[in-house]
Amino acid sequence: MESDDNSNLEKQQERIDQLRAKVNAAKIAFLNGTPFEGKEKLSYEDLKKVAQDFIRATYEYQKQKYGAVKVRISVPKVLRG
């Protein structure tokens, strides 16, 4: 059972890493006005959705690992980081 939990946590951590990279790519595309994932120009709302996906994934990870969300993250904080 613990092995399954560790495996699930590792998968969630990989997803968080992928989403972090996606947020960084989206920020660059937004700032440069370049295409991103089929969109000619990324709007702030699109960028915000990418950040919210990252936040949701981190919350799921924290709930799985600690039983509750220990660190709250906001969209502006993700976009600054």
- Please state the domain count of the chain: 1
What confidence score (pLDDT) does residue 28 get?
96
Are 57 and 49 in contact by the 8 Å Cβ rule? The answer is no
The structure tokens listed for 77 are 């904080």
Q: Taking residues 4-26, what's their average pLDDT? A: 94
Give me the residue label for tokens 């994932």: 37
Q: Which domain holds residue 7?
A: 2-80
pTM beyond 0.85, yes or no? yes
Angle at 72 between CA 52 and CA 65, to 5 degrees: 95
What is the spatial distance between Cα 44 and Cα 27, in angstroms, rounded to a whole number? 9
> pLDDT per residue over 59-69, tens digit each?
999 999 999 99
What confidence score (pLDDT) does residue 37 get?
93
